[in-house]
Amino acid sequence: MAEDAVALKNKGNDAFKAKDWPGAIEYYTKAIELNDKEPSFFTNRAQANIKLEAYGYAIADATKAIEINPDFIKAYYRRAVANTSILKHSDAIHDWKVVVRKNPADKTAKAQYEACQKMVKRDAFLKAIEIADAPSAAEGLDLENMIVEDSYDGAKLKDEMTQEFIDDMIERFKNGKKLHKKYVFQIILAVKELVYNEATMVETKVAPDHKLTVCGDTHGQYFDLLEIFRLNGFPSEKHGYLFNGDFVDRGSWSCEIALLLYAYKMLFPKFFFLNRGNHETDDMNRMYGFEGECKAKYNERVFKLFSESFSALPLATLIGDKYLTLHGGLFSDDAITLDDIRKLNRHNQRQPGQAGLMMEMLWTDPQTAPGRGPSKRGVGLQFGPDVTKRFCEKNGLEAVIRSHEVRMEGYEVEHDGRCITVFSAPKYCDSTENKGAYINIESDYKLQFNKFDAVPHPDIKPMAYANNGMSSMMGM
């Protein structure tokens, strides 16, 4: 029995090395079923869960390993990483402290402990200075008199966005060049106003001879975004796109993705849609690189304006009265209807917080078991096929389309066809061997699924702009 369990663990390790995280979890789980007294089985599974961003599960596994062996340093390590990843710094700090005490020579753990202490202090500071109606970062920004130097070699932007400007921008970004700050400010401010005036749930139909493409998370993977456009066609008045949140963070071209998507929103405001994701939020941007990237490529004001524009984004899009598209998923209460989403005043609450409708729309995940369960992420909750069925029937929907999670094939149809996940960042973070996908919808409202592979990109690692040690943790 013990030998069989070790053999299964070794198979799990092989799957892990091949970056097949779900396969690794399956083997570790089988090993645990044969022998639930070996802490390393739990810490190995915790690490695979961390790779899948199932931080809640990782915390539970690490805790179990600590119960079996309170001196098992790796378990404290794993739990600290998982808690840090979901911004529970005050929980993480206790485990980092244990690791440093038990293994004072571990420089990475020491750096993490120090970074975590800074995070706890910064969180407290930000909370203390939080102002409900803080002035906009646009105040005092004199765009009209901002000079674009003669030495700037890019296309010029007047009052209206043009296809020529976008074409030039795509090439600039490919070649590692930046936009002039004046244009960056101009684009963000224009889109902030456009999306602020949209409904919390945008409602759109697909006209005859038109097409709408739904994309999931792109996470700063700019070259893979261009691959979608290359394979599937660039946005136009007859070919709309809906990007379902998580444009930024993790990947190191988040500024480029956000600016390109915003430029298309300016050019085609009625055919190009953007839903907010859980990474279009301040605390995630501080942790996962977007704030650092904005500061490195432009300045802090650019980040603050992006932050204001993110909090103005719609939370959902209803396609042809058939498909509710939102980043995370469904709700803790069966009584919620589309009308509740319509009535939600998202402008009263800039950040999603720890509870409520906005948090659930951005954070929840489907599960295979009926009913509702605790979140595998440690944030939000999980909802079963019966929850999805009731919601769709009550609201006259064919399905819910959501993103928020890696799928190895780029998409997955679950809950008897009523819950569809689409994820558009192939080879996610350069460390998961997943495909990307997008969904085309024409006027017959049939879903056409398309998969694609990652393309090469310049040698800049994911999380290159995360300044809090997260990039080093990703390799653990």
- The CA–CA distances, whole Å, from 104 to 1, 17, 69, 81 equal 37, 28, 19, 18
Known catalytic membership, residue 239:
no
Burial of 315: CB neighbours in 10 Å, binned 0-12, 13-18, 19+: buried
Cα(272)–Cα(266) distance, rounded to whole angstroms?
A: 9
Contact 451, 437 (CB under 8 A): yes
Question: What's the first-to-final CA gap in the chain, in angstroms?
Answer: 30
Strand partners, 452: 436
Query: Which residues touch 415 (CB under 8 Å, ≥6 apart)?
Result: 366, 384, 385, 388, 389
Annotate 142-157 with b (16+ C-beta within 10 A) or e (fewer): eeeeeeeeeeeebbeb
- Of 89, 180, 279, 415, the catalytic one is 279
Positions of E strands within 260-322: 272-275, 316-319
E strand or H helix at 323? strand 323-326
Strand order in the sheet with 381-383: 365-366, 381-383, 372-374
Cα(44)–Cα(472) distance, rounded to whole angstroms?
A: 18
Residue numbers annotated as active site? 279
